Structure 1
Amino acid sequence: MSADQEEAPAELARLWRLPVSTSGLGRPAALDTERVVRTGVELADRDGLAGATLPKIAKELGVSPMSLYRHVGSKDELLVLMRDLALGAPPEVETAPGRWRAGLRQWAVAQRLVNHDRPWLPRLPIAGPPMGPHEIAWMEAGLSALSGTELDWAAKVGALTLLSGYVRHASLLAQEHAQGRSETGLSQEETERAYGRTLARLITPDRFPQVALLFSSGLFAAAPDGAYDDPATDHDFVFGLERVLDGIAVAVDRAQAPTGEGAATGTGEGATP
């Protein structure tokens, strides 16, 4: 074990699964951090975040709750450990010069899919900057996508923070919409059509002229079946994602422009989906 590993705080050692010294000899411990955290993730996948408490993990493992504290220091630490494990490995992203937008799109869509498969994940509190090995691997992938740009490090980190924040918000919003629809039994497309029909009867041009034009446009009636089945191609998600990428494109173009040329034009690969 290196000196750095020996000096790592216990929480960081557990997060990175660094070897820890054990006193005495005898049989290996029946539990370790990996098993405890993996059980927590499995329970959260099955029962939601409320099903992944330390007492419920202990019951699932057939041990006393107090025995878990040798491997997980607290409830808050458990959530940090679960988040990193649940994220898994990042995708392979485009890293070629001029392909930063495709790379960030792959990065964002992959996060959206993870959040869809594990809806409890975006509900975890943000305890601080990325610290775990999977979180750092996702950071590496995002920075790699931006490696061909002239953005400075602060701008690159800002772009990733903006993008991941958008994905998290979109994931939570999709969950809330789904929960609302579960009470009616309607699909998203059916909900939009019903919304359009109902409001079109109530909105008058003299009071809400622009909204009246919106509802008379047929936009909501035109929602095709299956338009929201794939979270990666959901129209609302994709529209917002492309607008965030448009904003990052301005910063990329500005960083590449020679000094004194002024504001970015937004042209080139960075300006189009």
Structure 2
Amino acid sequence: MDPEALWTPAERPRRGRPPAHTRAEITAAAVALADTEGLGAVTMRAVAARIGAGTMSLYSYVPDKETLLELMIDEVSGGHRLPSAPSGDWRADLRHLFREQRALMRRHPWLPAALPARQTFGPHTLAALEYALTVLEHAGLDGQAGLEVFSLLSGFVASHVTHELAQEGAPGSDSRAVHQAQARHLRSPAVTGAYPKAAEALTAPGGTPSPDATFDRLLTRMIDGLTAGG
């Protein structure tokens, strides 16, 4: 895959009929399909049917599914709602950025699974990265360290969202009921005394925090650990 060819806008032909479709239209159709039916449903045939085109004609706009996936990832990355410049409070700015990233992944549940296959950075992805590196510079991190922290925090968010969505989709996923059943199990004669630290941690009172509160707490711990000394 040639990033320059992928992301540099092609010149419009001066003569002949205008193209029947655009890459933007095809990408939007693929994103909509993934949002409603999952990433596995995105095939060249399915996307072509969604826009009313022949499958083979789609290849004149997008050479393969891998390229389409790159376009999809960058398209949804434009959904980050970020200010034009950091506030100067780098911790608050990081929390805002990765809360936005979590919200983006929840709007597009296929995104965490798609990211490991990404081969290049499009303009929307680069805009979010530029913002993150600027924020991390305020934390005293150079470009390489900033890239590492951005990658690690993005990986945490993707993993966390994947877990959240799996738990929400699981049958009988009432977290309060599960917690109570876990506590009864750990107090049973079969395990009493065998796993004291686990039993103490898993049966500790305090209620069930909201998903947002849980994410914020874990994100803060990640930021504090990855930027230690900043």
Give the TM interval when normalised to the shorter protein: 0.7 to 0.9
Counterparts of 1:250 and 1:70, CA distance in 2: 49
Counterparts of 2:189 and 2:114, CA distance in 1: 40
Partner of 2:59, secondary structure, is helix
- Out of 50, 54, 64, the position equivalent to 2:44 is 54
Q: In structure 2, what is the equivalent of residue 193 of structure 1?
A: 180
Counterparts of 2:203 and 2:106, CA distance in 1: 33
- Out of 95, 98, 104, the position equivalent to 1:114 is 104
- Out of 74, 88, 91, the position equivalent to 2:78 is 88
Q: In structure 1, what is the equivalent of residue 199 of structure 2?
A: 212
Which consecutive segments of 4 or more residues in structure 1 shift more than 6 A?
none
Partner of 2:62, secondary structure, is coil
* Residue 156 (structure 1) shift: 1.2
Write out per-residue CA displacement over residues 149-176 of structure 1, whole angstroms, 9 at most, x where no aligned residue: 3321111111111111111111111122
Q: In structure 2, what is the equivalent of residue 39 of structure 1?
A: 29
- Out of 12, 15, 19, the position equivalent to 2:10 is 19
The question of 1:239 aligning with 2:224 is answered no
Write out per-residue CA displacement over residues 201-259 of structure 1, whole angstroms, 9 at most, x where no aligned residue: 3564432222333355335xx226xx23xxxx241x2222111111133142xxxxxxx
Write out per-residue CA displacement over residues 118-164 of structure 1, whole angstroms, 9 at most, x where no aligned residue: 11111114235651011001101112222323321111111111111
CA separation of 1:146 and 1:167: change in aligned 2, threshold 3 A: same
> For residues 1-273 of structure 1, what are the structure 2 equivalents within 5 Å?
9=2, 12-16=4-8, 18-22=9-13, 25-93=15-83, 95-97=86-88, 99-128=89-118, 130-180=120-170, 183-184=171-172, 186-201=173-188, 204-219=191-206, 222-223=207-208, 227-228=210-211, 233-235=212-214, 237-252=215-230
8 Å contact kept, 1:89–1:137: no
8 Å contact kept, 2:30–2:72: yes
Larger Rg, first or second structure (1 or 2):
1
8 Å contact kept, 2:70–2:120: no
Unaligned stretches of 5+ residues in structure 2? none
Name the aligned partner's letter for residue 43 of structure 2.
T
Partner of 2:193, secondary structure, is coil
8 Å contact kept, 1:33–1:71: yes
CA separation of 1:137 and 1:202: change in aligned 2, threshold 3 A: farther
Unaligned stretches of 5+ residues in structure 1? 1-7, 253-273
* Residue 45 (structure 1) shift: 1.3
CA separation of 1:127 and 1:216: change in aligned 2, threshold 3 A: closer
Identity fraction in percent: 28
8 Å contact kept, 2:23–2:62: yes
Counterparts of 1:240 and 1:162, CA distance in 2: 13
- The structure whose RCO (Cα within 8 Å, separation 6+) is larger is 2
